[in-house]
Amino acid sequence: MKSKVKLLAVLLTAAMLLTACNDQGQPVNTAATSGNTQNSQDSENTNSPESQDTSAEESSKPEDDPTLVTDKSKYPADLYGVIGDKIEADEITDVHKQEDGSDEDWRTAGCNGFVYLAEPTGINYNSIDNADSFNSEDNSFEGSPEESPAQYKRYKVGDGICGLTVKEAYTFFSNKEFPEPFDEQYFSGCTVSFEGEKKLTGYIIILSEDLYGIGGTGDVIFIPDDDSQTLPVMNYNAADAEKGIYSNILSFAVTVGSFSYKNEYRSISCGNIDSYESSWFLGEEHNKPIKVSVTLDEIGISSSIDWITSYSAKIKEISF
């Protein structure tokens, strides 16, 4: 029987979130260039692989972290990934226990180097492009599916998907009480960052207030349109016992201001307007969808089966 650990997956996600996600998508300072297209300045990379490796090594020393299980014979042996594949013992890179527990009373476990991703299926609705099917009374789109048929596969560092390359990847497990029949599977979620850029079209919204699960005041979110449903999908959910873990599409639309949308990504957090050249968004109304073309880089995703999925990126170029 697993211990009833009151641990939210978001805490683990935040702790393990990969550096390329850049603090949940907070971009570096950018500058405008001539014309309608804006370009970001090159910034000094303070998160080099060398510094990350050194930091990771130092932070994992037993004397610095008393919860780290150093005896690999005590690692859990019954871990399975999102698609039911067995996690081999040599794939587990870290295990933590309760501060007052034994090595057998493990709390979290992780595998560095791979995640589970799916190709997009193109499900996308918004209240501008699909106004004829949008019902504002119950905030829904007529005929829209409640879930995606996306199929997950394991992707390791260096693998390509959707024109991007997996740069860093981490799969984590939690020894907490999930409802049956998930009570013995332990899988909790993944974080990933990518190398590469994506040129997309869609809508940006500058938030005028804090919105739970979406962003804070002044944050910029991007919602791809029909032509830009080309990002990898990672959107875990375990609400249906018969389906297992699947890519969940909300049965209701997400609304920001007067704009409602429903897709496989939700929205992509692109940081705060204070992180960009002021002329980019000067005079743009907040909480209003603005049609744009963007080039995104530093793309990252974090998702767990009992918390909100987060997509993050930096806007490298934008055209209104």
Which DSSP string do the residues of 124-146 spell out, in sequence order?
EEETTTTGGGEETTTTEETT--S
pLDDT of residue 104: 73
Residue 4 is assigned to a structural domain of this protein: no
Of residues 20 and 140, more confidence is placed in 140
Of the ranges 68-82, 154-168, 274-288, the best mean pLDDT one: 154-168
Of residues 223 and 241, more confidence is placed in 223
pTM, two decimal places? 0.79
The DSSP call for residue 85 is P
11 band by pLDDT with thresholds 50, 70 and 90: very low
Residue 176 is assigned to a structural domain of this protein: yes
Whether 229 contacts 118, CB under 8 Å: no
pLDDT of residue 290: 95
Residue 3 is assigned to a structural domain of this protein: no
String of b and e for 235-272 (b: at least 16 CB within 10 Å)? bbbbeeeeeebbbbbeeebbebbebbbbbbbbbbbbbb
In this model, does residue 31 exceed pLDDT 60? no
Q: Could you identify the residue written with the tokens 């998702």?
A: 303
Residue 263 is assigned to a structural domain of this protein: yes
In this model, does residue 141 exceed pLDDT 90? yes
pLDDT of residue 68: 93
Count of domains forming the chain: 1
Residue 183 is assigned to a structural domain of this protein: yes
pLDDT of residue 105: 80
Whether 229 contacts 202, CB under 8 Å: no
Residue 120 is assigned to a structural domain of this protein: yes
Domain of 304? Answer: 9-319
Residue 211 is assigned to a structural domain of this protein: yes
The DSSP call for residue 40 is P
**How confident is the prediction for the chain on average, in pLDDT?**
80
Query: What's the rounded mean pLDDT across residues 121-149?
Result: 94
Residue 76 is assigned to a structural domain of this protein: yes
pLDDT of residue 33: 31
Q: How far is CA 108 from CA 3, 11, 13, 16, 104, in A?
A: 11, 11, 11, 11, 11
In this model, does residue 103 exceed pLDDT 50? yes
pLDDT of residue 197: 98
